[in-house]
């Protein structure tokens, strides 16, 4: 009887330990390098380089972006989102003067985002991971904090 209870306990612990939540399986997770040559920027100069790191955090994700802007200044910002439709603050210096972001899941390979400044929508984006999980394409449209039109498509390669 003890053997059976021990075996059942071991199986139960193994099943719980091996269970992975859907968020932990996201194709968005990992390290992504900006492919400047394949990206298109209007209204602003492309950065020299950028690395986007996406990790599981709670029921959502934490995104950190580091790089070098066209003028040589550092790019560094991050945010965390639970995909709950609520504003999430940026830390660091986010793009376009935004101070908050809202991320929603459309499907397993697609997210939408709204970058805001003082509650006002600046930029809307659609992020799609390719079916093979190797390319992330983010299409963004709107205006920056100075009111200039933005229409960018960034292409990121999985590392």
Looking at domain 22-158, its CATH class is: mainly beta
Q: What is the 3-state secondary structure (H, E, C) of 19-60?
A: CCCHHHHCCCCEEEEECCCCCECCCCCCCCEEEEEEEEECCE
pLDDT single digits (tens) 11-58: 433 333 334 444 458 999 999 999 999 999 986 789 999 999 999 998
How does pLDDT run across 113-140, given as a tens digit for each residue?
A: 999 999 999 999 999 999 999 999 999 9
| HSE-up of residue 108 (Cα within 13 Å, Cβ side) | 10
């Amino acid at each position: 009887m003890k053997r059976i209870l021990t075996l059942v306990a071991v199986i139960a612990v193994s099943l719980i330990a091996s269970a992975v939540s859907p968020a932990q399986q996201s194709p968005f997770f990992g390290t992504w390098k900006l492919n400047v040559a394949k990206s298109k920027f209007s209204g602003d100069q492309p950065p020299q380089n950028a690395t986007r790191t996406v990790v599981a955090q709670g029921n959502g994700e934490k995104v950190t972006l580091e790089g070098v802007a066209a003028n040589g200044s550092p790019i560094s910002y991050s945010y965390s989102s639970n995909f709950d439709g609520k504003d999430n603050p940026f830390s660091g210096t986010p793009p376009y003067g935004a101070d908050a972001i809202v991320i929603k899941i459309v499907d397993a390979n697609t997210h939408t985002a709204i970058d805001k400044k003082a509650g006002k929508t600046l930029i809307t984006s659609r992020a799609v991971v390719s079916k093979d999980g190797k390319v992330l394409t983010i299409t963004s449209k709107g205006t920056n904090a100075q009111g200039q039109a933005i229409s960018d498509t960034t292409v990121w390669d999985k590392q």
